[in-house]
Amino acid sequence: MEAMMSARTDLGYDPDRLCAEFLAPWNDHDVEAAIATFSGDGFWEFTVGSEPWGRTYTGREALREAIGAVFTAIPDIHYEVVRYHAAPTHLTMEVLVTGTNGEGKKLNYQACDILSLDAGKVTGKRSYRKVVS
């Protein structure tokens, strides 16, 4: 992982640790643990949808549906931090996403998540990705 800034006490959190703790349940395909990193009214703006920002999933039930759908569609999905940029109220992670979709196509692309933070919980996750053609 290429850290763009070292762990600083003025952030209120350790960005290396937050990246690892946030991505661990995603890499373990543990829906409930992934949901637990969000605040109760947390949201995820997914990369695909009918709106310019994609589709928004808000609250635990909607997050459960969305995260579960990703794990079903790409059962071996894996996220690896390429680099991050940290600030007190948000963390931007650039990640390498790999896996195999339902049609057997190997996935290998970079994506970016902007996490909004409050009291150690993710209040929002805005996802963006490269389209490999």
Give the per-residue pLDDT at 120: 78
Going by their DSSP bridges, the two strands 78-87 and 2-3 should be labelled as parallel
Query: Which pLDDT band holds residue 46 (cuts at 50, 70, 90)?
Result: very high
Q: pTM for the whole thing?
A: 0.89
Give the per-residue pLDDT at 5: 47
> What is the Rg, in whole angstroms, of the alpha carbon atoms belonging to the chain?
14
Give the domains, in start order, of the chain with CATH numbers: 2-129 (3.10.450.50)
- Give the separation between CA 105 and CA 21, rounded to whole angstroms: 28
Query: Which pLDDT band holds residue 3 (cuts at 50, 70, 90)?
Result: very low
- Give the separation between CA 85 and CA 40, rounded to whole angstroms: 25
Q: What are the structure tokens assigned to 76, written together?
A: 């071996």
Average pLDDT over residues 1-7: 48
Number of continuous H segments (helices) and E segments (strands) in the chain: 3, 7
